[in-house]
Every structure is written in structure tokens, then in C-alpha cells.
């Protein structure tokens, strides 16, 4: 069975050496955040994820969720107790303000813990993950009364949340949705329609579930401008907070799917269910986007999380499995074969994974700090800049982390040879679970078009220009440090590719929008490679500093410098190829007649 | 449920226009092969695969194989009847000489039909596929008596075959195998040991199973030079061909695995089972390699086959699914959304798949012709050249086709969005099934090292030099045809990258073998991209000729030219990136201390 250890040392290095705790302490809400407290929180979370969540991952996959004829859904054995431990630890509402039942701690911490939980048990971690998304929308758009009624129970994990967008005829294109909301005399609405692919739509982990549902108020305009967001509790909540009547919402079926079997993917039937408008009428997409942006970061972290746990197990197997001899001579003379980690191609696979995991965690960390700045900084300029960065990088992270996270699971599985294909070793589950992250919360092609079609042009490219400036500043900062040449020079070259690609888009996408669509996926990946490269520059510099300070860490820091160099030599040069693909434009693909495919 | 139509038109185009039937007719055994006969055979095979095999693919996956306490294994419902139809059609032994119960037809035809069968139902197609491998070894290394006793039943599909290499402690490194063979007084052997991951090791499709088993004769040298190959029938066969006593070989367990559930992956226990030496003692690996090379080509075709069927379904979904509007304006004004095939990024995914499938089929075709030349040509020079090509290209095809085949299934699944993740649509099964092809018959990393470490240096690089010459000749042939510039020039550039990479290996691998290991995977993929590019040159030229001859095919041929151009613009330029990776060498990856991974 696979093992998992939370990468605490990596996280502490990012926190203390790469970004510094001061990046959080400088925000008024967190000025008294101590290194000790942060360390304790992370150690406790790691322990829970390792000891309580991880052991249920394989059995959760094998047994899955079961729906009975009455529409009740039972989560896999022991999920309820594990979930309760997670909720009672205060982990669900970590970043929620204390007045709404949370801990008032930085989102950055919450995101780090999300990674641990997703590595340990992705299907189980989705229950609090979706709740966090629902909380974000509720706290941003809810009335004070709504917030007080729902948020504390959600933040304490006593209830969970869901998001209901998709319908059979309507996935990406939300303008097509037909779920109806009829006004009732008391100001609430009757919601009727069918939603599909609703993660955690029904389960037995908590006594109530708060569904956030997109629907169309009778008479609303067609398309996306006529969509509103509703709070639809599974069990209605009285004004005093007590549970009342069962609402007319039910789980009609659960999907049989490739993975994440521990989390029921539900068909939800709303049959005149009572719902409460959240935010403004006909502005539901805006409200939902708050939830979705948060959720997209969370999904990006799932990609990293699966890559991390798959990596850990592949390393362990590569050290244990004896097979063949090193090309340069016997390494293990006492045994009849060497461990396969002596083979260059096995190292290649492992380093391709690890050279992603480290900067991806750094990038997620940096995005989480930006999220904390957006919510807590008193400086409007800083908030705006952070919001720009977050807007720009969220689709990049969601698309790139989940694509590469999946590929990395496939690579880690490959290290096991035939053993990777059989269920017993657990590697194939990581592959199956990781696959969904490329699809949900907006398939990765949608992330790419969000990046190129919306995030880039916004405010005349303000966000991307700021990204170029920041990246350029970091490179300039280290330009005269010869020890940094191995990192600065390749990133400079790839940044140049990204800038060329951006100029190409500016010059070609307006005349023909298909050029934007045809370039979008490669542009997203080009952006991701560069953004990860910039993180490597930061990590490499922090490693050099640390090494000079604490010589007992020399080997650890040297290994970071090596992995970074591997990234520069083998992963980053992909940017030139992406630029060629982007510049090839849309003509060839759009010339194909539909019937000739 | 997914649909499948055998790509008959593609195959006829390859047969008639790209390679020409004369490439087979020029071999003495096939001089009277008529276009009509070939066409009829392929049409019949297509019909069987589409109508009988394909409908059982999803249910075979869902129900899988079941083993009872007595070790009997039952294949999924209706597999037996479908297998029998396949066997009775004469498809198993198509290329086997008539004196051994086959049809005496070209292997090329057999390989084309293998693709159809694997697309329709990979798990089911593995039963005859493994039989074909066993037949190859038997016909090459068996005594006349052995051939007459076993081959006709195998060729007629009345029995199936297996190959037994892997043991728990020994996968890639066959030198570690411990299964024992004790000589008996009658000249046969008692085989004792455990084999794992034995595909089709036990089932109820046929009355007998002929296991080919690697074992070590008592007193044989250690390592790979002490391994022999044995015929171990499940039920012993009397000299008159009748079935005798049950042999002491049994299925101890079947693996729960990621996919190919319709084919039992067995733990096989040999408990003093009677076995018969096949070929020379201690030369078992040589005999097994015959089987393995054939099997590797078969696995390459599985990669293509899954890519093809996944593509067909993704295209169909992309034409049907209405979601969003084209970036350049409404294409489907009568409906409230356009089919998603209008979106550039959906076309990108589809064309990435199709721009591989067409040249991959051509390359497989060309390898199959080489196999026919090796077995049937009367010209020793031609046989040698074909053997060189086949030796060189088999690991390339196995590694590249299965890697890209899997990636293509993932892309095709992505076209479906959330629907791709649920079992009902069948796309996730293609992904799970395709995954094994990257692992079995030598994991793809092993293919890469076989290519770089064995196939390249053999006879001072004779095979690779011949490849460069052949490729250069084709490019020269079309160098003055302006209509071919879009194909010839990019392939010339990428061929140059391959040549540079080859020179780099020559200069760096001898001084440090780790450089070969570190470069091998990228070299294999670089080679694959170039070989597929050369196939595109052939296809493009054939399309231009055809278009000039038959104007009613203009649109079909123009679409081929477009897809080829897409390959040149977007897929082939990867070669520059691969060259950079190769040239970066082994130093960085080998410097990482094991404990720092």
C-alpha cells in the first residue's frame, strides 16, 4: 500500500527561506503570527493527513460510495470518522474569520494543508475543499443574516457545501442552463431542474449539505446574464439555526467513474426545492466565479498533491527494487542486482517529477500569499497588484499543474513496471484520481482560453506586463551573481519566448480570434514553464543563502540546486517548441472541413 | 457506448497508393496475391471486429475475468463465442504456413487486422495476439515434431499460447529468474516455479493452453546464459495429438488491475509440470526474443489501435455536442450553440491525434512488409536490410506508439469534458486499457535502452546509417517538387536533429555509458517523430498523385495534406527540444545522491 509523508521540510523552507514569514506578518490581520504557531499547525495537519486520511485512500477507492434506492449515499467505511477528525481539528475553516466560526488564519496555511490532505486522500479532501469554495462565495456575497446562519456550521465542518453548475446540456456554456427559480411569496424561490456531476452532492458525513445552485429566475434574460445563484440547503435551516424540514432536493443517481470513488458524483434533482438568492439576481455567474477561482487554485493544488504522493512512492520503490546493474559498474555487490535508482532513465523520470513539484509548491504558495493580500492588505495598490497576479496565474496553475500532475503520476507508475498497473501497489489509483483535475472546475482548454481571451487583454495587459516586470526584476537582481547563472540565463531566454508569444498574440488574435484559440493551450503551458522557472530562480537563491548560513544543510541545498539545474537543462527548453507551435497559427486546423475529421 | 469502424479506406490507401500491393506481390510466396482477395479479407475482418468484438468491450471491462477457488478462470460473458468466431474465421493463423494450419498470407495483413481487433476489444484481441507470438517462437525454434503437434491447433485458434517470463523478483532483469527445470528420464523436464503477470494464463475460451516458459535447467550457468525455453501445455498432448492428462500448472491468482479486465493477468504456479525444451538448452532468451520482437510490434499496434478508436469517438462527440459559439461568429444559427468542433482547441486535440494515427499506421505497415521480406524474400541482401530496419524500428514503434497512443486516449477523453470521466461513455476505458501497452513486453524505458544500447551500435551503426540514407533519398526524390516543400523541408531539419543526436551519442556514450541511458528516452521519441515525418512525406506524395488522378477524391486527399501540414507545424518541431535534452547529458541527474531524492 502506498505511503505518504507530508513534505514539511519543503514547506518550512518555502515559508522561512524563500518567501519569509514576513510576507504574511506584514498583513495587519496576521501581524502576530508566530513561526512557532505556524510550525505547530502544519505538523498537526501533517499528522492527521498521514495517519488518518492516507490509510483510507485505497479502501475508499475500492469500496466507493453507495447509493440506496431511497437516494441516500453512504461514503466509504471510516470516511465519516476521518472527516470528523478533520473538521474537529478546525481545518475546514482555517482561513474563515473567527466571527463566522473559523480560525482567522492565513489562506496560505490552508492551502498548504489542502495539499497534504489531497495527497493523503483526494476523494476525502474534496468534501472540505468544496465547503471552502462555498464559504468563499457565501462570505463574499451573502447577507449578514445568511452568513451567520450558514457560515459557522460550514467553517466548523458540521455541514458541507457543493457547487451546482452543470446540467446535461450545459457544461462549459452556462448560458444554456435551464434550471428554474420561481419567486415565492416569502422572498425565497422554488428551484426546479436537474444538475449533474455534483461532487459530494449527497453523503452521510454531515447532518446537512448546503448546495449553491445556479438557476434562472422566471422572466430573466436568456444567456449568462439571466443566471442567479441560490443557497439550497438539503435540510432547511430555521432562523434560530436549527434544522427544519427536508428540502425537495435529492440525489437521483451517482456516476460510475474512473476515479475519486470515495466522493460521490451526483445527479441532483431539484423538485421545487426552497432556495435563497445569494448575491444579486441575474449576477449569479459573478458570485459563482468567486467560488470557482478559489476552487481552481484548489484543483491546481490537487495536481501537485497527486504528483507529490506518486513521487514519494516511486522513489521508495526505485530504492528498493533490485533489477539489473548500473551501466557504469556494479553498485550493490552484496546483492545479485542494483536498485533501479542507479539507472539514468529511472532518475530522469523521478527528476522530471521533482523538478516540477518544488517550484509548483512555491508558485501555489506565492498565489496563496496573493490571496491573503487581496483579502487582508490595507494597501489598495498592493491588493490590486495581487489581484492581477492571481487572476493571471489561476488559469495557468489550474491547467498546467493538473496536466503535469497527471503526467507525473503516469511517470511514477511507470517506475513500477508491471507492478504499477496492478491495484495492489496503489499507483494506478493516483493516475485515475489525478485525471479528473484536468477536467473539473473548467476543463484545461477553458483555462487556456480564459488566460488568453480574458486575463491577458484585461486593462490593456496590465497583469501580464506586471508579470514580465516582476520576472525581469528578479533576473536583474541576480544577474551579477555567477552562482546564479545556471538559473538566470535559461529563464531569461524562456521569458523572451513568452514575451514573443505574447506579442504574437497581440498582433494576430484581434484580426483572427481563432489564432487566440489555436495558441491558447500552448501559451498556457509556455507561461507555466516560465513561471516555474522564475520560482526556481527564487529557490536556487534561497538555497545558496541557506547553504552559506548553515553548512550542515549543504547536501540538502546542493540537491535543490541540482534539481533546479535539471529543470533548466531539460524542462524549460520546451518553451522554444511552444513558441513555434503558437506562431504556426490557426489556418491549418481551421481549414479542415468538419466532415473530413 | 463507444462505436468503432475499422479504418478500411485508410488501409486501402496505404496498400494501393502509398506502398502498393506490389511490395507484397514481389515476394515469391505472395506473387499471386490479388487486390480483390486482400480487400475481401480486410472487409470480412473489419465486419467481425466491428460487429462481434467491439460490442463486448465495455461489458468485458465491467465484468472482467473471474477465478474460482479451484483455479479455473472464466472470461467475461460472450467472449468465448466471439473468440470462436475469430478463430473459426482463420484470423489467428493468417500468416502461418498452410502446412502448420495457417492461411499462408502476409503478416502485413495480419497486422492490419490486429489493429482492428485491438481497437474493437483490446482485452479479447490479446488472446490471439499472444498465440501469434507463441507460434512465431515455435515455428522458428521447434522441432518438426513439436511444430506438427502444437502449431496447427494454435494457428486454428483451438488452443491459445502464452509467454512466461516474469517472476516476482525478476522482470526486466531475466538473469534473476529462478524457475527450475529438472531433466526427466524421457527427455522432458519437470518445471517448478512461480511466474507472474501472465496474460491469458488461464481462461475458458479454448480446451488447451500452451505455455512457453523460461526456466533454468539444473546446473545451468547463472545469469541470462543459463536460461532455457520450454513448452508446457496446460493439458498434455499425446503423440497422436489427442489431449492427455492435466499438467501440474495452475493459476494461483489473478491480478486486480487498472484495465484490460477482459484478459486475466495470472500468477502461474508450475509444480513439477512436464515441459519440453524448445530450441537449444541455455539459449532460451534467444528463442524468447523471436516471440518478443513480434509481440513488441503487436503492442505498438495496440497503442495505435486505442488512439484510433478513441479518436473516432472524440470526433463523433465533438460534432454532436453543442456548447458555446465559434470565436469567429455563429456557425449553427438554428440551435442555441455550435458543435464544439468549431473551437480551435478542440480541433487541436483531434488533429494531434489524427496527425499521429495516419503515419503510425503507415510505419507499422512498412515494418510489417519488412517482416514479410525477412520471412519470404529470396534475396539475402533484401532480407538483411529488412531485418536491420525492423530491429531498429521495433523499439521505436513500441515505445513511441504506446506513449503517444496513451496520450491520445487522454486527449480524446478530454474532448468529452466531464463525460469523459464517467464509465458510461467508454472513453476512460480506452485510457486504462492503453496504459498497459507502455509497460508490458518491456517497459518503454527498456525499449529506449534497447534502441540506444543495442540497435544503434550493432554492426557499426549499419542499421541507423541505412535509415538516414533511405530517409535522405526520399527527401531528395521530392526536393524539386514545390508542392512537397511543406513536408520535405521540415523533415530535413528534423532528420538533421536526429543525426546530430546520433553523433552526440557516438561521441559521448562510450566515455560514459550513463550518457546513453540519460539520452535514450528522448532519442527514442526524437527517432519516432522523424520516422513518422518520413511517413508523412510518403503519404503527402501519394495524396498529390491520387488527387491528380481522381478528382472526386480531391477533398479527401486535401485533408491528408492538411493533417500532414499540421504535423509539420506542430508535432515535428519537438525534435529540436529533444536534441537539447539529449545533449544535456547525464551529469546533473547522476550527481544527485540517492538519499536526496
- Domain extent for A179: 160-283
Q: Do residues B216 and B256 both lie within one domain?
A: yes
- Phi (first) and psi of residue A324, to 5 degrees: 75, 175
Q: Provide CB contacts within 8 A for B460, sequence distance 6+.
A: none
Residue of B418, B425, B430, B509 to mutate when probing chain A, most A C-beta within 10 A: B418
Read off the CATH number of the domain in which B182 is found. Answer: 2.40.110.20
pLDDT band at A136 (very low <50, low <70, confident <90, very high): very high
Asked whether residue B322 is domain-assigned, the answer is no
Q: Is B173 on the interface with A (CB under 8 A)?
A: yes
- In this prediction, residue B291 carries a pLDDT of 77
Taking the C-alpha atoms of residue A480 and residue A497, their distance in angstroms, rounded to an integer, is: 22
Read off the CATH number of the domain in which B81 is found. Answer: 1.10.540.10
User: For chain B, percent helix, then strand, then coil, each to nearest 5?
Assistant: 65, 10, 25
- In this prediction, residue B287 carries a pLDDT of 84
Whether the per-residue pLDDT at A566 is higher than 80: the answer is yes
The model's pLDDT over B370-399, given as tens digits with 9 standing for 90+, comes to 999 999 999 999 999 999 999 999 999 999
The secondary structure of residue A220, as a DSSP letter, is P
Q: Do residues A498 and A567 both lie within one domain?
A: yes
Three cell numbers written together for B46: 473489419
pLDDT band at A576 (very low <50, low <70, confident <90, very high): very high
Q: Do residues B12 and B91 both lie within one domain?
A: yes
Q: How close is the nearest chain B Cα to the Cα of A266, in Å?
A: 11
The residue in chain A having the minimum alpha-carbon distance to the alpha carbon of residue B197 is A418
Whether the per-residue pLDDT at A294 is higher than 90: the answer is no
Q: Is A20 left (phi over 0), alpha (psi -120 to 50) or beta?
A: left
Taking the C-alpha atoms of residue A66 and residue A76, their distance in angstroms, rounded to an integer, is: 8
Residue of A407, A588, A591 to mutate when probing chain B, most B C-beta within 10 A: A588
Average pLDDT of the segment spanning A65-94:
97
pLDDT band at A551 (very low <50, low <70, confident <90, very high): confident
Do B518 and A345 count as a contact with CB atoms less than 8 A apart? Answer: yes
Q: How close is the nearest chain B Cα to the Cα of A402, in Å?
A: 12
Whether the per-residue pLDDT at A291 is higher than 80: the answer is no
Q: How close is the nearest chain B Cα to the Cα of A382, in Å?
A: 35
Residues in chain B within 8 Å Cβ distance of A577: 573-574, 576-577
**B251, B283, B315 — which closes off a domain?**
B283
Share of chain B above pLDDT 90, in %: 97
- In this prediction, residue B79 carries a pLDDT of 98
The residue in chain B having the minimum alpha-carbon distance to the alpha carbon of residue A586 is B344
- Which positions 2-41 of A are in contact with B (Cβ < 8 Å)? none
Asked whether residue A438 is domain-assigned, the answer is no
Q: Do residues B37 and B79 both lie within one domain?
A: yes
Taking the C-alpha atoms of residue A448 and residue A445, their distance in angstroms, rounded to an integer, is: 5
- Which positions 144-163 of A are in contact with B (Cβ < 8 Å)? none
Q: Provide CB contacts within 8 A for B445, sequence distance 6+.
A: A343, A345, A346, A349, A414, B520, B521
Average pLDDT of the segment spanning B271-281:
97
pLDDT band at A206 (very low <50, low <70, confident <90, very high): very high
Average pLDDT of the segment spanning B559-580:
98
Q: Do residues B117 and B174 both lie within one domain?
A: no
**Sole residue written with cell 480524446:** B412
pLDDT band at B118 (very low <50, low <70, confident <90, very high): very high
Residues in chain B within 8 Å Cβ distance of A343: 445, 517
Facing B438 at nearest CB: one of A170, A327, A414: A414
Asked whether residue A391 is domain-assigned, the answer is no
Do B421 and A258 count as a contact with CB atoms less than 8 A apart? Answer: yes
- In this prediction, residue B110 carries a pLDDT of 97
Q: Provide CB contacts within 8 A for A573, sequence distance 6+.
A: A490, A494, B577, B580, B581
Residues in chain B within 8 Å Cβ distance of A562: 588, 591-592
pLDDT band at B1 (very low <50, low <70, confident <90, very high): confident
Asked whether residue A39 is domain-assigned, the answer is yes
- Which positions 264-293 of A are in contact with B (Cβ < 8 Å)? 265
The residue in chain A having the minimum alpha-carbon distance to the alpha carbon of residue B353 is A597
Q: Do residues A185 and A121 both lie within one domain?
A: no
Taking the C-alpha atoms of residue B481 and residue B305, their distance in angstroms, rounded to an integer, is: 33
Residue B39 annotated to the active site: no
Taking the C-alpha atoms of residue A493 and residue B1, their distance in angstroms, rounded to an integer, is: 48
- In this prediction, residue B286 carries a pLDDT of 86
**Total tally of structural domains belonging to chain B:** 3
Q: Is B516 on the interface with A (CB under 8 A)?
A: yes
Taking the C-alpha atoms of residue B518 and residue B501, their distance in angstroms, rounded to an integer, is: 12
- Which positions 350-379 of A are in contact with B (Cβ < 8 Å)? 350-351, 354
Whether the per-residue pLDDT at A176 is higher than 90: the answer is yes
Asked whether residue B370 is domain-assigned, the answer is no
Residues in chain B within 8 Å Cβ distance of A517: 327, 343-345
Q: Do residues B220 and B121 both lie within one domain?
A: no
> b/e per residue, A239-257, with b = 16+ CB within 10 A?
eeeeeeeebebbbbebbeb
Taking the C-alpha atoms of residue A594 and residue A160, their distance in angstroms, rounded to an integer, is: 45
pLDDT band at B365 (very low <50, low <70, confident <90, very high): very high
Facing B323 at nearest CB: one of A173, A574, A589: A173
Facing B343 at nearest CB: one of A337, A423, A517: A517
Residues in chain A within 8 Å Cβ distance of B589: 344, 347-348, 351, 566
**A268, A283, A298 — which closes off a domain?**
A283
Could you count the other beta carbons within 10 Å of the beta carbon of residue A236? 17
A445, A587, A596, B231 from B331: Cα distances, Å: 20, 17, 17, 63
The model's pLDDT over A389-436, given as tens digits with 9 standing for 90+, comes to 999 999 999 999 999 999 999 999 999 999 999 999 999 999 999 999
Three cell numbers written together for B572: 515535428
Whether the per-residue pLDDT at B290 is higher than 90: the answer is no
Instruction: Quote ipTM for the complex.
Output: 0.98
The model's pLDDT over B421-452, given as tens digits with 9 standing for 90+, comes to 999 999 999 999 999 999 999 999 999 999 99
pLDDT band at A115 (very low <50, low <70, confident <90, very high): very high
**Sole residue written with cell 448546495:** A211
- Which positions 448-507 of A are in contact with B (Cβ < 8 Å)? 448-449
Do B562 and A588 count as a contact with CB atoms less than 8 A apart? Answer: yes
Residue of B508, B517, B556 to mutate when probing chain A, most A C-beta within 10 A: B517
pLDDT band at B205 (very low <50, low <70, confident <90, very high): very high
Average pLDDT of the segment spanning B241-262:
97
pLDDT band at A160 (very low <50, low <70, confident <90, very high): very high
Average pLDDT of the segment spanning A62-81:
97
Whether the per-residue pLDDT at A501 is higher than 80: the answer is yes
Beta strands B265-278 and A243-246, pairing class:
unpaired
Q: Provide CB contacts within 8 A for A337, sequence distance 6+.
A: A322, A323, A324, A325, B173, B176
Taking the C-alpha atoms of residue A155 and residue A96, their distance in angstroms, rounded to an integer, is: 7
Do B345 and A520 count as a contact with CB atoms less than 8 A apart? Answer: yes
The model's pLDDT over A427-464, given as tens digits with 9 standing for 90+, comes to 999 999 999 999 999 999 999 999 999 999 999 999 99
**A283, A317, A337 — which closes off a domain?**
A283
Q: Do residues B520 and B557 both lie within one domain?
A: yes
- In this prediction, residue A287 carries a pLDDT of 85
A44, B8, B353 from B5: Cα distances, Å: 56, 8, 17
Do A347 and B592 count as a contact with CB atoms less than 8 A apart? Answer: yes
Three cell numbers written together for B483: 508542392
- Which positions 550-569 of B are in contact with A (Cβ < 8 Å)? 555-556, 559, 562-563, 565-566, 569
Asked whether residue B235 is domain-assigned, the answer is yes
Whether the per-residue pLDDT at A290 is higher than 80: the answer is no
- In terms of Cβ atoms closer than 10 Å to its own Cβ (0-12, 13-18, 19+), residue A466 is middle
Asked whether residue B380 is domain-assigned, the answer is no
Asked whether residue B410 is domain-assigned, the answer is no
Q: Is B319 on the interface with A (CB under 8 A)?
A: yes
Active-site residue, from A255, A441, A569, A595: A441
Active-site residue, from B202, B358, B428, B441: B441
- In this prediction, residue B292 carries a pLDDT of 83
Q: Do residues A108 and A196 both lie within one domain?
A: no
The model's pLDDT over A255-288, given as tens digits with 9 standing for 90+, comes to 999 999 999 999 999 999 999 999 999 999 988 8
Closest CA to B107 of B470, B451, B377: B377
Q: Where is pLDDT greater, at B196 or A285?
A: B196
Q: Do residues B227 and B131 both lie within one domain?
A: no
Three cell numbers written together for B318: 465533438
Q: Do residues B462 and B578 both lie within one domain?
A: yes
Residues in chain A within 8 Å Cβ distance of B584: 569-570
Q: Do residues B203 and B142 both lie within one domain?
A: no
Residues in chain B within 8 Å Cβ distance of A418: 166, 171, 196-197, 439-440
- In this prediction, residue A270 carries a pLDDT of 98
Amino acid at each position: 500500500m502506498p505511503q505518504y509523508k507530508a513534505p514539511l521540510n519543503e514547506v518550512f523552507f518555502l515559508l522561512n527561506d524563500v518567501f519569509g514569514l514576513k510576507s504574511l506578518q506584514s498583513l495587519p490581520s496576521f501581524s502576530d503570527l508566530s513561526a512557532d504557531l505556524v510550525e505547530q499547525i502544519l505538523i498537526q495537519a501533517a499528522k492527521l493527513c498521514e495517519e488518518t486520511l492516507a490509510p483510507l485512500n485505497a479502501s475508499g477507492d475500492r469500496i466507493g460510495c453507495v447509493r440506496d434506492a431511497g437516494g441516500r449515499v453512504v461514503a466509504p467505511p471510516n470516511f465519516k470518522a476521518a472527516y470528523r477528525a478533520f473538521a474537529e481539528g478546525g481545518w475546514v475553516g482555517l482561513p474563515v474569520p473567527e466571527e463566522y466560526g473559523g480560525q482567522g488564519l492565513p489562506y496560505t496555511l490552508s492551502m498548504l494543508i489542502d495539499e497534504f490532505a489531497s495527497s493523503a486522500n483526494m476523494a476525502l479532501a474534496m468534501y472540505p475543499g468544496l465547503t471552502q469554495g462555498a464559504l468563499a462565495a457565501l462570505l463574499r456575497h451573502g447577507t449578514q443574516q445568511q452568513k451567520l446562519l450558514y457560515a459557522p456550521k460550514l467553517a466548523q465542518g458540521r455541514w458541507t457545501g457543493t457547487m451546482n453548475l452543470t446540467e446535461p446540456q450545459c457544461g462549459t456554456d452556462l448560458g444554456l442552463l435551464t434550471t428554474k427559480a420561481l419567486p415565492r411569496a416569502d422572498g425565497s424561490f422554488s428551484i426546479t431542474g436537474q444538475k449533474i456531476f455534483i461532487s459530494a452532492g449527497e453523503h452521510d458525513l454531515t447532518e446537512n449539505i448546503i448546495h449553491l445552485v445556479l438557476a434562472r429566475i422566471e422572466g430573466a434574460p436568456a444567456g449568462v446574464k439571466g443566471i442567479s445563484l441560490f443557497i439550497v440547503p438539503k435540510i432547511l435551516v430555521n432562523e434560530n439555526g436549527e434544522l427544519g424540514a427536508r428540502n425537495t432536493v435529492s440525489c437521483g443517481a451517482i456516476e460510475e467513474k474512473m476515479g475519486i470513488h470515495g466522493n460521490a458524483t451526483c445527479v441532483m434533482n431539484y423538485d421545487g426545492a426552497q432556495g435563497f438568492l445569494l448575491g444579486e439576481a441575474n449576477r449569479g455567474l459573478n458570485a459563482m466565479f468567486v467560488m470557482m477561482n478559489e476552487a481552481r487554485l484548489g484543483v491546481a493544488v490537487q495536481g501537485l498533491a497527486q504528483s507529490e504522493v506518486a513521487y514519494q512512492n516511486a522513489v521508495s520503490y526505485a530504492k528498493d527494487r533490485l533489477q539489473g546493474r548500473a551501466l557504469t559498474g556494479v553498485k550493490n555487490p552484496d546483492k545479485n542486482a542494483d536498485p533501479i535508482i542507479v539507472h539514468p532513465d529511472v532518475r530522469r523520470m523521478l527528476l522530471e517529477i521533482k523538478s516540477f513539484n518544488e517550484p509548483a509548491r512555491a508558485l501555489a504558495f506565492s498565489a496563496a500569499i496573493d490571496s491573503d493580500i487581496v483579502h487582508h492588505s490595507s494597501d489598495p495598490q498592493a491588493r490590486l497588484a495581487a489581484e492581477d497576479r492571481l487572476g493571471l496565474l489561476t488559469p495557468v496553475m489550474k491547467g498546467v499543474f493538473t496536466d503535469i500532475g497527471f503526467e507525473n503520476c503516469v511517470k511514477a507508475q511507470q517506475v513500477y513496471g508491471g507492478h504499477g498497473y496492478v491495484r495492489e501497489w496503489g499507483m494506478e489509483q493516483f493516475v485515475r484520481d489525478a485525471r479528473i483535475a484536468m477536467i473539473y472546475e473548467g476543463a484545461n482548454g477553458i483555462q487556456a482560453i480564459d488566460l488568453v481571451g480574458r486575463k491577458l487583454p484585461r486593462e490593456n495587459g496590465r497583469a501580464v506586463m506586471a508579470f514580465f516586470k516582476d520576472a525581469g526584476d528578479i533576473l536583474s537582481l541576480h544577474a551579477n551573481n555567477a552562482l546564479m547563472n545556471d538559473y538566470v540565463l535559461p529563464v531569461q531566454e524562456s521569458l523572451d519566448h513568452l514575451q514573443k508569444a505574447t506579442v504574437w498574440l497581440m498582433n494576430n488574435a484581434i484580426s483572427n480570434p481563432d489564432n487566440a484559440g489555436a495558441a491558447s493551450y500552448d501559451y498556457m503551458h509556455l507561461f507555466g514553464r516560465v513561471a516555474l522557472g522564475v520560482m526556481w530562480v527564487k529557490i536556487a537563491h534561497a538555497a545558496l543563502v541557506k547553504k552559506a548560513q548553515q553548512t550542515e544543510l549543504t547536501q540538502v541545498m546542493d540537491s535543490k540546486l541540482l534539481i533546479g539545474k535539471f529543470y533548466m537543462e531539460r524542462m524549460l527548453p520546451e518553451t522554444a517548441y511552444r513558441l513555434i507551435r503558437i506562431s504556426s497559427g490557426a489556418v491549418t486546423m481551421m481549414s479542415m472541413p468538419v466532415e473530413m475529421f
